[in-house]
Amino acid sequence: MTVSLALGVDLGGTNARAALVDRFTGTVVATHKLPHQERTPEAVVATIATAVRAAARTAGVEPGALGTAGVGVAGQCLGSSGTVLNAPNLGWRDVPLGGLLQAALGIDVRVVNDLSAAAWGERWQGAARGVDDAVLVFVGSGIGAGLILGGRLHEGGRGVAGEIGHIKVAPRGATPRRCGCGEWGCLEAYAGGMNLAARLREDAADGKAGAVLAAVGGDPARLSASAVEAAHAAGDPYARELWAEVGELIGTACANVVTLLNPLRLVLGGGMLLGCANLERIVRANVANGVLRAARRDFEVRRAELGDDAGVVGAALLGAGRHPHAR
Ligand SMILES: [Zn+2]
């Protein structure tokens, strides 16, 4: 029985989620999610180990019998070394997560970026099924991508490929903004949910975002992409201009990636993008207009289908060395 299951972990800034996944179909068989009490590497590894044991108990297996595990981390990972170079949500730099987890669980661990894991999950079971070249772009509190090229996960020379949130963009007349990564002018600094909320608070303080502020009852702490979406739907000019700018930035970045890599599918995901219908429409229009004509043949844009499961499914199957076949 045990050989038919694979173990995947999705490690975010708030929770660790472990899942046992059918290694032939990618179906989630058992799952357990725990919040972080502390974010030190030792505490997080202990939380992951507890979640893994709970999920394994539900599935009726011993973690040690699974042989390997895959872990998707919201951060930059150094290739196959298991080292997390930078995970801002956890406050980590250069953490040897793979080795620590291997010691805690007694099995081999593969560490990958969370969006690489999500792309692999969508490739198996979701919106990128059946194509060997696909790009997954997530827009939530941050912005990132997973790349599947020629049927393989593309992690780059040192494992940090896909960082679309940190390509540099320079919107016309925009104030230079610093990104959470420490650099200036990143796409995420203008279009990621966390930085967008900071910008909304600045604009609200300058009296420029009245309708957006009204959408959250006048409480600046609740300003978010969904407040912009609500004001946009009501025809507010500030919200319309902001979504035009943000949608153009995200859409053009995606279009340029598609022109460069010629995937047959672009999968859009993340709470900010999928939760804001007007923003999604503007992003899609900019993708449709921006992709080089020759790269549009057989190219499709789809919404991510697996939600929170994409990361654990992809991590489990990557950890188990499973490759889907194109149809
Ligand atoms: Zn950045």
Asked if pLDDT for residue 171 goes beyond 80, the answer is no
Q: What is the pLDDT of residue 132?
A: 97
CA of 158 to the centre of ligand 1 (A): 18
CA of 142 to the centre of ligand 1 (A): 9
Tell me if 194 sits within 8 A of 142, measured CB to CB. Answer: yes
Residue 143 backbone dihedrals phi, psi, to 5 degrees? -130, 135
CA of 166 to the centre of ligand 1 (A): 4
Q: What is the pLDDT of residue 326?
A: 44
CA of 139 to the centre of ligand 1 (A): 14
CA of 168 to the centre of ligand 1 (A): 8
Residue 80 backbone dihedrals phi, psi, to 5 degrees? -90, 5
CA of 14 to the centre of ligand 1 (A): 21
The one-letter amino acid at 81: S
Per-residue model confidence as pLDDT tens digits over 115-139 = 999 999 999 999 999 999 999 999 9
CA of 222 to the centre of ligand 1 (A): 24
CA of 180 to the centre of ligand 1 (A): 6
CA of 11 to the centre of ligand 1 (A): 20
Q: 3-state secondary structure string, 12-80?
A: CCCEEEEEEEECCCCCEEEEEEEECCCCCHHHHHHHHHHHHHHHHHHHCCCHHHHCEEEEEECCEEEHH
Per-residue model confidence as pLDDT tens digits over 184-205 = 999 999 999 999 999 999 999 9
CA of 31 to the centre of ligand 1 (A): 32
DSSP 153-166: E---TTS-TT-GGG
Q: What is the pLDDT of residue 239?
A: 98
Between CA 19 and CA 24, with CA 22 as vertex, the angle to 5 degrees is 145
CA of 163 to the centre of ligand 1 (A): 9
What's the rounded Cα separation, in Å, for the pair 144 and 118?
11
Q: Between 266 and 326, name the one with better pLDDT.
A: 266
Asked if pLDDT for residue 249 goes beyond 90, the answer is yes
What's the rounded Cα separation, in Å, for the pair 93 and 217?
38
Strand partners, 18: 9, 32
Q: Between 226 and 172, name the one with better pLDDT.
A: 226
Name which of 97, 85, 80, 84 is nearest 42 in CA terms. 97
CA of 225 to the centre of ligand 1 (A): 19
Name which of 20, 48, 53, 22 is nearest 36 in CA terms. 48
Q: How far is CA 27 from CA 7, 63, 291, 307, 314, in A?
A: 12, 18, 34, 13, 11
